[in-house]
Chains A and B, each alone.
Chain A
Amino acid sequence: MEMIADAVSWVFIVLGCFFILVGTIGLLRMPDVYTRMHSASIIDTLGATLLIIGFIIQAGFTLVSLKLWFVLALFFFFGPVASHALAQAALYAGIDPVLSEDRRNRELPAAGDNSESSSADKSEAPNS
């Protein structure tokens, strides 16, 4: 039993380490701040989660594993808020993104109740 738990947590920790390294490599390679944020969010979500789940399996059912769940919840609720604020502040400051396509002026489906807007989405999907 102990062996199995050890092996499973090994797998999780190694995978988490892999995604953390991938995220940092992307942080170096990407051309501008917006694309770098996508790469950093790999670390915040998949890397951190896999690593922490590996730790949770190691810790077993104790107070420590509950605290680890709290760390995970912290990433999940506050990570996107920080990235959103960062992207918005960068746009506000006039940092031009590297773009291959800008659809910010595209026609939006009409506002309305749920069924109306989702049918508009459907009819539009093949064109986009």
Chain B
Amino acid sequence: MRSIVLAAALLAFWLILSGHYTSFLLAMGVLSVILVVLAANRMHIIDDEGEPVELLAAAPSYWLWLYIEIAKSAWSVTKLVLDPRLPISPTFTKIRASQKTAAGKATYANSITLTPGTITTGVEGDVFTVHAIVKEGADDLEAGGMDKRVSQFEGTA
């Protein structure tokens, strides 16, 4: 089942990138898709961690929410950069992630890194080490708003 989804996604990728629809190129595309799916099967990377298709339905609303967060924090970092006094207060902190699956944890860690102002520097089990450029960023993460949103996103799977 996952193999079919992967094959469809790869074929769409090929069609979009090539832009030429002659029979020879299409045959080459189908051939390479089959080869890649076979190789992925052999490597046993087609599972709920390697290809979390269940999350796809909930992804758009999560991405929209994440994007608004990114825009907000990018604007606050912009104000920091343009401030002549450079009022930064870099903080290291540790937070606990409440996600259960590996894909959920990876989503949380990547969302933290993607948001300007906070970077995940280490993941050990469900404890993340996070570097924040201002104290308030670390406070927000410790309060766990984003953690809850990611758990909700993961729970829809």
Contacts and interface: CB of A to CB of B under 8 A. Distances in A.
Q: A contacts B directly in the complex (CB < 8 Å)?
A: yes
B74 A100 contact: no
Contacts of A35: 88, 90, 133
Contacts of A32: 90
Contact of B142 (A22, A25, A114, A125): A125
Interface in B9-66: 16-17, 19
A99 B119 contact: no
B90 A29 contact: no
B157 to A, nearest CB: 14
A63 B16 contact: yes
B138 to A, nearest CB: 7
Interface string A91-114: 100000111111111101101011
B2 interface: no
A103 B110 contact: no
Nearest to B138: A103
A41 to B, nearest CB: 5
Interface in A75-128: 76-77, 79-81, 83-84, 87-88, 91, 97-106, 108-109, 111, 113-114, 117-118, 121-122, 124-125, 128
B81 A111 contact: no
Interface of B: 16-17, 19, 67, 70-71, 74, 77-78, 80-82, 86, 88-96, 98, 109-111, 113-122, 126-127, 129, 131, 133, 135, 138-139, 142-144, 147-148, 151
